[in-house]
Each structure stands twice: as C-alpha cells, then as structure tokens.
Amino acid sequence: MNPPTAICQLPSAPRILVRGTNWLGDAVMTTPALLRLREKFPNAHITLLTPEKLKDLWVNHPAVNETISFAPGESVFSVGRKLRRVGSSRCDDRTAQRAVPTKFGLALVLPNSPRSAIETWLAGIPQRIGYARPWRNFFLTQAIAPRPGAVRMQKLPVAEIKRRTGVAPVSKIISKKSETGATPVLRPIDHQIHEYLHLVAALGADPETIAPQLFVAPDEIKTAKEKFGLEKITQPVFGLNPGAEYGPAKRWPVERFIAAAQEIQKRTNCVWLIFGGKGDVELAERISSELRTPNSELRSLAGQTSLRELMALLKLCRVLLTNDSGPMHVAAALGTPVVAPFGSTSPELTGSGLPGDPRHRLLKSDAPCSPCFLRECPIDFRCLNGISVERVVEAVLQCGGAL
C-alpha cells in the first residue's frame, strides 16, 4: 500500500508534540509509529502529551524526549494553556548537548477525537496533523484521509448476532441493517498499528511495520523481584492476567483460567504471578486461593504494582496467559510471549505484538458472531466458551518452552 505524500516541510531538528492515546493497549500500539518518527527526525525534540496514568510507560523510551501529562477530568482549556506554557519555554534535549526550538512547530494528533485536535489548536501550534474525522477537521491544518481499504471496528447489532447464531428466528428480526453485509475478511495490513504508521508517513516517515517496543532496565527488574519476594525463586515464572477493562465480553471464564493454570502448574512446577488492576483484586484472590497448595509458590499482585513494576514483572515472565487487555500489549512489547483468548474483539485488528508474530498465540473460536466489539454478550458467550482449556494449556506450554 502506498504511503501518503509528505505534506509539510520541517527543519532537521524540529520540536514536535505528539498527542498520545488514552488507553494502555492503544499507547503500546503507537510505539512503531513513534519509533519511525524518531528514525525520520533523529535530532527532533519529541514531546508526548499523555494521560497521567500512562506517563511512566515512556520512561527511557528512545522515541520520546519528554512527556506532558494531564489528570483525569482536566479540561481541554487547561491542557491547551499547559501546552502554550511548555511550548514557549526553552528546554534541554536529554539526548544531545544542544538547544532545541523554543516552540512546538508541529503537532501530530494520534487519537481521532475532537478534543485531541482542539487541545493542539488552543496551544497555538502552527501545524496540526491528524486523521480527518467529523467535528474536528477545522482544528487541524492538515486532515489526513483514512487509509484506502482501512477496516474500522464497528459494533455488531444485537439482531445481527442473533441472526447469525440462530438464537432468534429470522422472522423476529426487524432491523434491516442487521440483515445486510458480511464481516470483512481481516488481513495483517488491517491492524491498528498501520493506522498510526500511515499518519507518520504523512511526515515522510517509513510506513513499514516494526514491532511495538517498550523498555525496562535490569535494575527495575531486580528491584521488583526484591519487593515482591521473587529474588530466590528458581522455578519458571508464568504470568496470569484474568481481567480486562473493556468489559466481560473480553474475559475468558474464570473457571477456565483456574483449570488451565492448575494443569500448567502440574506440568511445569511454575510460579504464577497473578496481575490485575484495583478492580481485579477479588478475582485475583479467588484464582490464587484455587491454585495455592502447601508446596506451591504464587503471588497475587492485582492492585499492588505501579506501571513500571508491572512492566518489570511482565518482562520477568516466561509467558503471559491473558485476556485481550493493556497488559497483553505491554508484555508482547517487552518480548514476553503471550497467549490470549479473543472473543468480542479481533486479533487481526488489535492483537499483541507484530501481526503474525509466531511467538504469540492469539486464540479464537469459530463463533459466527465474533468479533462483535460489544462490552457484554447479548446471547450465550459462545465466542469465548468455544476456546477450550486444553487448547489454552497447549498454547501456554508451547510458548513457555515446556513442549
């Protein structure tokens, strides 16, 4: 697919603001584009505007010189003023002993929301580039047309789900929209990574795919091991991430997580690290109580780790068994193999790592209603129920080097 023609000229050492995405998994999927941007402008000072919760993701990342964060609920006007202040002050480049331009010359807007474009407009940045979308094109100086043939995630109507699965008689389905159109055949080129690469290609960057990459230092891993009592562990360390923020339609049943983890533990004598956010504490405790035996080693870490600690511990794992989630993307970007059952979402569009990477096992069933992109299943959850414990166990053992 041909990249867009470069649409603006920049100095060899520009000051660039990149408006980052709002979710952990999406942020990881932007790293190939950011690395290509750095490759194109090795002497640029690149500032990333990011939600506060994701700020630490970018520590020591070679594509980013500095971050500006905003708090939950902070207004678009507050963010605009903050960018004006920072963009008008001289700052030092941490990657080279030289001065950098005092003002942002360009803003690259990665999200598709109106707000993200308005923030850069309020900041007075002279060149503002992002995808053309309703209610925001006025605030961009260059609105980039979507990639030819690009596939967008669209929620499947409930009536169409019932039609495809035979849950309801066709005579009961009244939505004409639900009875037309087939799910397109998805290809590696449809992956979300390519959306961000296409955008940086408008600046002359290379649009060819590279794997998402994150970085943790050895001393961070050492500190995390000491904090969570793992420094003397000699068994293989496996990760388990049973939650998913998007909703229950992305979560493989907890009973199956438990059954798979028990079988894997028997066959590998592994130490399980159970990950999750503050909302997953009860779920993690339930799983750990089922897995704990007098001779077993495991750690229930849900709600206990900072983002950098999570990264360090994921890097430590030999393999991560996870739902489609932010930690899935983080693990893959750190080089940890991933096994993930997919239900309402599509591995072709938002799978972990480089599309087609053989290190990972992204599993899906043959449910005719998947992917539906709904938060909750309106029928019988057949997409994830169709992925067996035995299939997951085999995939984890293969990725973990036990087969």
Tell me the pLDDT of the chain averaged across its residues.
89
Domain boundaries, the chain: 15-151+186-201, 218-399
Q: What is the pLDDT of residue 185?
A: 76
Which burial class, exposed, middle or buried, applies to 339 when counting CB atoms under 10 A from its CB (0-12, 13-18, 19+)? buried
Q: How many CB atoms lie within 10 A of CB 149?
A: 10
How does residue 352 score in pLDDT terms, banded at 50, 70 and 90? very high
Taking each helix axis as running N to C, give the angle between helix 389-399 and helix 254-268, from 0 to 180 degrees, rounded to the nearest 10: 40
Q: How many residues are present in the chain?
A: 403
How does residue 149 score in pLDDT terms, banded at 50, 70 and 90? confident
> Regarding the domain delimited by 218-399, which CATH topology (the fold level of the hierarchy) does it fall under?
Rossmann fold (3.40.50)
The pTM is what?
0.91
Domains 15-151+186-201 and 218-399 are alike in CATH topology:
yes
Q: What is the pLDDT of residue 274?
A: 97
The SS3 call for residue 158 is helix
Interval 347-360 mean pLDDT: 93
Q: What is the pLDDT of residue 173?
A: 40
Q: What is the pLDDT of residue 8?
A: 61
> Regarding the domain delimited by 15-151+186-201, which CATH topology (the fold level of the hierarchy) does it fall under?
Rossmann fold (3.40.50)
Model confidence at 403: pLDDT above 90: no
Q: Please give the full DSSP string across 147-171, using - where no structure is assigned.
A: PTT-----PPPHHHHHHHHTSS-GG
Give the tens place of pLDDT for each residue, 157-189: 999 999 998 886 544 444 434 344 456 678 878
